[in-house]
Amino acid sequence: MAILKVKDVSKRFGGLKALTNVNLDVEENSVHAIIGPNGAGKSTLLNCLVGKLMPDTGAVLFDNASVLGLEPFQINQMGISRVFQTPEIFGELTVIENMLIPIFAMRDGVFRMHAYETIANEKAIVEQAEAMLEEMNMADKREMHAASLSRGDKRRLEIGMCLSQNPRLLLLDEPTAGMARADTNNTIDLLKQIKDERDITIAIIEHDMHVVFSLAERITVLAQGTPLVEDTPENIRGNPKVREAYLGEAA
Amino acid sequence: MFGLNKKDTSLLIIVGLLTLLAPFILNPFPEGSAMAQFNAGYPDLMQRFVIFGIFAIGFNILFGLTGYLSFGHAAFLGVGSYSAVWMFKLLSYNIIPAIALSVVVAGVFSLLIGYVSLRRSGIYFSILTLAFAQMSFALAYSVLSNPKFNLTNGETGLQVYADDPQILQGANSPDLPHLFGLPMRATYTMDVGAWSFDFNAGYYFCAIVMMVVFYLSIRIFRSPFGMMLRAVKSNQQRMNYTGLNSKPYTLAAFVISGMYAGLAGGLMAAMDPLAGAERMQWTASGEVVLMTILGGTGTLIGPVLGAGFIKYFENIFSKINDSVLHSWFAFLPDGLEDAVVFVIHPFIGKGWHLTLGILFMLVVIYLPGGLVEGGQRLLNRIKRKKPKTDDATSGKTEPAE
Ligand SMILES: Nc1ncnc2c1ncn2[C@@H]1O[C@H](COP(=O)(O)OP(=O)(O)O)[C@@H](O)[C@H]1O
Ligand SMILES: [Mg+2]
pLDDT (tens, 9 = 90+) of chain A, 251 residues, equals 899 999 999 999 999 999 999 999 999 999 999 998 888 999 999 999 999 999 999 999 999 999 999 999 999 999 999 999 999 999 999 999 999 999 999 999 999 999 999 999 999 999 999 999 999 999 999 999 999 999 889 999 999 999 999 999 999 999 988 888 888 898 899 999 999 999 999 999 988 888 888 899 999 999 899 998 899 998 888 888 777 766 555 44
Going by pLDDT thresholds of 50, 70 and 90, the confidence category of residue B32 is: confident
Which mutation among A35, A43, A56 tests ligand 1's pocket best, with the greatest number of atoms within 8 A of CB?
A: A43
Distance of alpha carbon A102 from alpha carbon A92, whole angstroms: 16
Interval B71-95 mean pLDDT: 96
* Distance from residue A225's CA to the centre of ligand 2 (Å): 12
CB atoms near residue B149 (< 10 Å): 9
Strands of the sheet containing A80-83, edge to edge, are A80-83, A169-173, A201-206, A31-35, A218-223, A226-231
- What pLDDT does B400 receive? 47
Weakest mean pLDDT among A32-46, A77-91, B94-108, B339-353 = B339-353
Say whether both A75 and A115 belong to one domain: no
A122 and B227 within 8 Å at the Cβ level: the answer is: no
Averaged pLDDT for residues B221-225: 97
Tell me whether residues A93 and B248 touch, CB distance under 8 A: no
Please tell me whether residues A222 and A248 are part of one structural domain: yes
B395 pLDDT more than 50: no
Total domains present in chain B? 1
Output the pLDDT for position A249: 52
More confident call, B214 vs A176: B214
Give the residues surrounding ligand 1 with Cβ less than 6 Å away. Answer: A 13, 16, 18, 36, 38-44
A40: in domain? yes
With H, G, I as helix, E, B as strand and everything else as coil, classify residue A115.
coil
> Cβ distance A201 to A4 under 8 Å?
yes
Q: Is residue A85 part of a domain?
A: no
Q: What pLDDT shows up at residue B1?
A: 67
pLDDT at B265 over 50: yes
- Distance (Å) from the C-alpha of residue B216 to the closest C-alpha of chain A? 8
Average of per-residue pLDDT values in chain B? 91
Please tell me whether residues A179 and A139 are part of one structural domain.
no
Residue A202 falls within a domain, yes or no?
Answer: yes
pLDDT at B284 over 90: yes
Asked if the structure places residue A193 within a domain, the reply is yes
- Using beta carbons and an 8 Å cutoff, which residues of A are at the interface with B? 50, 71-73, 76-77, 81-82, 84, 88-93, 97, 100-102, 104-106, 108-122, 161, 165
The verdict on residue B302 lying in a domain is: no
How far is residue B340's CA from residue B328's CA, in Å, rounded to a whole number? Answer: 11
Residue B120: how many other CB atoms lie within 10 Å: 13
The band of B116, judged by pLDDT with boundaries at 50, 70 and 90, is very high
Closest ligand to residue A35's CA? 1
Q: How far is CA B350 from the centre of its chain?
A: 21
User: Which of B223, B245, B252 lies nearest to residue A119, judging by beta carbons?
Assistant: B223
Range of the domain at A145: 91-165
| pLDDT at position B182 over 60 | yes
Domain hosting B259: range is: 6-281
Q: Residues in chain A, how many?
A: 251
Whether residue B260 is predicted with pLDDT greater than 50 in this model: the reply is yes
Same domain as A149, residue A171: no
Question: Judging by DSSP bridges, how do beta strands B195-200 and A2-13 pair with one another?
Answer: unpaired
A47 CA distance to ligand 1 centroid (A)?
Answer: 10
- Between the CA of A38 and the centroid of ligand 2 the distance, in Å, is 7
CATH number at residue B155: 1.10.3470
Query: Does the pLDDT at position B394 exceed 60?
Result: no
| Selected residue of A113, A122, A125, A162 to mutate for chain B interface (largest B Cβ count, 10 A) | A113
A36 within some domain: yes
Number of other CB atoms surrounding residue A246 within 10 Å:
22
Residue B219 pLDDT exceeds 90: yes
Q: Nearest chain A Cα to B237, which residue?
A: A88
Cα distances (Å, whole numbers) of residue B375 to A147, B293, B362: 25, 15, 15
Chain A and chain B share a number of CB contacts under 8 A equal to 106
Is residue B312 situated within a structural domain? Answer: no
**Contact yes or no for B241 and A165 at CB 8 A:** no
B219 contacts A115? CB cut-off 8 A:
yes
Atom of ligand 1 nearest to the CA of A37: 22
Higher pLDDT, A151 or B251: B251
ipTM: 0.94
pLDDT at B390 over 70: no
Question: Does A180 lie in the same domain as A158?
Answer: no
pLDDT confidence of residue A94: 98
Both A152 and A98 in one domain: the answer is: yes
Is the pLDDT at B272 greater than 70? The verdict is: yes
Pairing of strands A201-206, A31-35: parallel
The environment of the single-atom ion ligand 2, i.e. residues with CB closer than 5 A, is A 43
Residue of A nearest to B220 (CA): A115
Q: Does the model's pTM come out above 0.90?
A: yes
The predicted structure's pLDDT at residue B398: 42
Query: Average of pLDDT values for B168-196?
Result: 90
> Both A63 and A172 in a single domain?
yes
| HSE toward the beta carbon, residue B313, CA cutoff 13 A | 22
State the burial class of residue B52 (Cβ atoms within 10 Å of its Cβ: 0-12, 13-18, 19+).
buried
Residue A234 lies in a domain: yes
Tell me, what's the pLDDT at A250? 47
Domain count, chain A: 2
Alpha-carbon distance of B27 to B198, in angstroms, equals 9
Assess whether A23 and A47 both reside in one domain. Answer: yes
First to last CA, chain A: 35
Query: Which of B49, B63, B56 lies closest to B309, judged by CA?
Result: B49
Distance between B217 CA and the closest CA of chain A, angstroms: 9
- Predicted confidence (pLDDT) per residue in A70-104, tens digit: 999 999 999 999 999 999 999 999 999 999 999 99
- What gap in Å lies between CA B57 and CA B288, rounded to an integer? 10
Residue A147 sits in the same domain as residue A186: no
Give the residue among A69, A56, A49 at the shortest CA–CA distance from A16.
A56
Section B229-236 average pLDDT: 97
For the residues B43-59, what does the mean pLDDT come to?
97
B7 interface with A at CB cutoff 8 Å? no
> Is A179 part of any domain?
yes
CATH number of A68's domain: 3.40.50.300
- pLDDT reported for residue B392: 40
Q: Are residues A181 and A244 in the same domain?
A: yes
Inter-CA distances, B30 with B33, B195, B328, B395, Å: 6, 4, 17, 39
B316 in any annotated domain? no
Report how far residue A176's alpha carbon sits from residue A207's, in angstroms, rounded to the nearest whole number.
Answer: 9
Domain end: A165, A193, A213, which one? A165
Please indicate, yes or no, if residue A215 is contained in any of the structural domains.
yes
* Ligand 1 atom 18, closest CA: A43
Q: What is the mean pLDDT of residues B153-179?
A: 89
Select the more confidently predicted residue: B351 or A128: A128
- Residue A78's pLDDT is 97
Give the Cα separation of B138 and B46 in Å (integer): 30
